[in-house]
Structure 1
């Protein structure tokens, strides 16, 4: 894809740290432990017409349940038009049609490229000060991630978060008389547990797998996809990738029958279908929010979750956070009104609401985190597993990261099947270097 501008990846700067601290200075002391952001009095007579769009593809119903209905109640004279991404109708098609986007939101994986590539970036620093958003009361690693999008600028406000946990099928553990996994396990312990569940019993069962498309960009070793200095892929040059692959992906596959099972899957690692539908995968590392993406499938299972296993060298360090940002776009003619909406989504009121329904808050309030999932359809599950570990630091992000995800993910089964790290990593690095070069043209 041809990019309009060349934007280098950025690193954390002390100037940005100072700026964020200054932006959070207007909250007073009333919201200790919360986001530090209270709902500003709204002028119920103020009118606004705002268009909201996201590349996430979230449905209108999902938008209204999580955000739209609450916004309408808070701002009754605001006309909020949420446009859902369609298969052949994304952000470029929307902009080409002449539509104005006032608020754009997306997860960290796609936010930078969508905003920067389409000229939607707008520095919200002054709006943050004006509307008193206190970053100091949010999860620190999520706040740090803001600095990775625009140097010394604030291009996005984190509203909700995500991370990785370990799901398990209780019926399979009961079937084979194996004790359930626990919060706080290491990968070594998880792999040993998985060995007891990788067995043939009428059909092949496997103990442990992970969603590589999520584990790789959220890896616990904080390895960047792209070197921030050279703007080159890291999968061959950064030796940490070998340690990561060996522990997370190759480790579970060492049990007899695992690789043979992968061959039945056309050389793919066990994934969603094997866990949710076939139910012959005992443990699966996946997004903490995924139960609300596939609720009917999870309802058909006897499941629970525990914290993501950790590396011995990094005790109690889980995956990276995977925040979702909201931004006022450069093209909006109603920036203040758009910012009022975003500010409202960061208040304790909305953060508590999101937490209760099972959407991970960005607030670092223990009280808000404590109610996580308690009003969801899966009330009673171990939602606290999502907060058991600390978040791993988020490394430098570039607009090229999304181009590298698929090739990096395809490297996983190749390494597991062949054990040839050097050949697979070198070929992947050559392929992804070309993708970056093409994108820069």
Structure 2
């Protein structure tokens, strides 16, 4: 399909994202809407809550059936006993292409902000849910503002996705490394300058090389605190060599920590990449690591093996209390669904206060701005004794305009990080990255 450069989408990759389908039935209904559910929701029989339904749910996340049931499936079976809801897990051998080839009708699609809009729109499966939202009293004003506003980046007048859960970034730290070198633990509200200074004290050799501070570069770039877009939404050109904020971000978050003695040598001994997941979780050589607030539930056993805690993501000196961008996951009724009311009932229930409370207790960040729900975050999880409220210490950075090309640019932008650290040559690295990504955009336009 040909890319429509004027369509503004949300598409930037996180390393964990999802997908969707081609349209067949129905069409967009015009109208504008805003969205979360009023407590209790509507139980009007006309909404077909008590009618039997066979619904297929799909995501390219690869999340297991067990994970789906634990978070959503079990609650949905209890709420809608007459609904037969089948969750299809993506695997290496079976994904969207195979589903479509087999003629499967997908009723509900969910995906993170990273690839939701581009996949939905590129595959022409979008459906404006405005008219479905009205009788159910769905109101986005109860959601965290930047999450609610992000829906408008998909389309200014239509509602193609409803946020169901959220994510952001925090700073994890290994207490044992701090204790080993007698360094005080980090605290909520630290700046990057303070974190870098702390990291310098922990970047030391003692039987093996320890690294004080590192980050998941893809997530830092994707959810950057300076709200820098990957692509100029008007020119549809990469911004890495034209927006000066990229240099500020690289210098502060990536280059700053790497100035500590021994850091670059460590990188060179590890395939010239910055310390990442294995170095933090398995080798336990990294003292502080900036990563997703939800990642502890992706690698629970690894975290259980570590003496750790978490604090808020360090902030830029000139932007106090501004953390990472939110990274919501959207659910949508597809235009191929023949049971749109029932599919919408499912989404409506997932954003109800009752379900959002249960998700929050499990450590799944709510999209609602309700303080009482935030206080429940992680309280029924294996990590309830940790500083889980660190995830809410900062405000969310605004989410910038996105284009459908973001997912193509994330990897090249991320590869620029170690190159800049090891060479110090911003101009050459940014220029070559700009050339590479401009070519990717042009090639995508021709498809």
Structures share fold, TM-score greater than 0.5: yes
The match for 1:15 is none
Q: Where does residue 254 of structure 1 map in the other structure?
A: 259
User: Following TM superposition, by how much is the alpha carbon of 1:93 offset from its aligned partner in structure 2, in angstroms?
Assistant: 2.5
Matches within 5 A, 1:270-349: 270-349=275-354
Contact 2:37/2:137 (CA < 8 Å) preserved in 1? no
2:8 is matched with: 10
1:42 Cα deviation from its structure 2 partner: 7.0
Verify the 8 A CA contact 2:247 2:426 in the aligned structure 1: yes
TM-score by length of 2: 0.92
Q: Find the counterpart in structure 1 of residue 205 from structure 2.
A: 200
Q: What's the CA shift for 1:41?
A: 2.2
Q: Which residue of 1 aligns with 2:190?
A: 185
Q: Output the CA distance in 2 between the equivalents of 1:78 and 1:11.
A: 32
Give the alignment's Cα RMSD to 1 decimal.
1.5
Match of 1:223 among 225, 228, 236: 228
- 1:97 equivalent in alignment to 2:99: no
Any gaps of 5 or more consecutive residues in structure 1? 13-17, 25-33
Match of 1:40 in 2: 42
**Contact 1:328–1:335 (CA under 8 A) maintained in structure 2:** yes
Structure 1: how far apart are the matches of 2:9 and 2:272? 38
Q: What are the residue-to-residue correspondences of 1:398-409 with 2, within 5 Å? A: 398-409=403-414
- State the 1:40 CA deviation: 2.8
Partner residue of 1:28?
none
**Per the alignment, in what secondary structure is the counterpart of residue 234 of structure 2?**
coil
User: For this pair of structures, how many residues does the alignment match?
Assistant: 423
Conserved 8 A contact 2:173-2:309: yes
TM-score by length of 1: 0.93
The superposition leaves residues 198-218 of structure 1 with CA deviations (integer Å, 9 ceiling, x where unpaired) of 001111001000001111010
Q: Distance in 2 between matches of 1:128 and 1:183?
A: 39
| Separation (CA, whole Å) in 1 of partners of 2:443 and 2:81 | 47
In the aligned structure 1, how far is the partner of 2:224 from the partner of 2:154? 19
Distance 1:231 1:96 in 2: 33
Contact (CA 8 Å) 2:37, 2:348: kept in 1 or not?
no
Q: Give deviations 1:19-75, integer Å, cap 9, x for gaps.
A: 44xx46xxxxxxxxx963433327564100100000111000000000000001000
> In 2, distance between residues paired with 1:77 and 1:256?
63
> 2:57 maps to what in 1?
52
Displacement after TM superposition at 1:274 (Å) = 0.3
Change (3 A) 1:405 1:37: farther
CA-to-aligned-CA distance 1:386-410 (integer Å, 9 cap, x gap): 0000000000111111111111111
2:115 partner SS:
helix
CA shift in 2, pair 1:212/1:121, >3 Å: same
- Counterpart of 2:114 in 1: which secondary structure? helix
Aligned-pair CA distance for 1:11: 9.1
Q: Given that residues 5 and 445 in structure 2 are in contact (C-alpha distance below 8 angstroms), is that contact kept between their aligned partners in structure 1?
A: no
CA contact (8 A) 1:35 1:138 kept: no
1:9, distance to aligned residue in structure 2 (A): 4.2
Structure 2 unmatched ranges of 5 or more: 11-30
Match of 2:70 among 48, 60, 65: 65
2-structure distance, mates of 1:66, 1:314? 35
Residues 112-121 or 314-323, more deviating: 112-121
Distance in 2 of aligned mates of 1:116 and 1:206: 43
- 5 Å-filtered alignment, 1:102-181, equals 102-181=107-186
How far off is 1:92 after superposition?
2.5
Q: Distance in 2 between matches of 1:121 and 1:364?
A: 27
**For residues 424 and 110 of structure 1, what CA distance do their matches in structure 2 show?**
26
Q: Once the two structures are superposed, what CA deviation does each residue of 1:225-258 show, in whole Å capped at 9, x if it has no partner?
A: 1101001111111111000000000010000000
Q: Report SS of the residue matched to 1:297.
A: helix
Secondary structure at 1:80's aligned position in 2? strand
**1:367 aligns to what?**
372
Counterpart selection for 2:270 from 265, 288, 301 = 265
Hey, what's the Cα distance between the residues in 2 that align with 1:439 and 1:95? 22
How big is each residue's C-alpha offset from its partner over 1:332-373, in whole Å with a ceiling of 9 and x where there is no partner? 111111000000000000000000000000010000000000
Pairing of 1:362-441 with structure 2 (within 5 A): 362-441=367-446
Q: How many Å apart are 1:164 and its aligned residue? A: 0.3
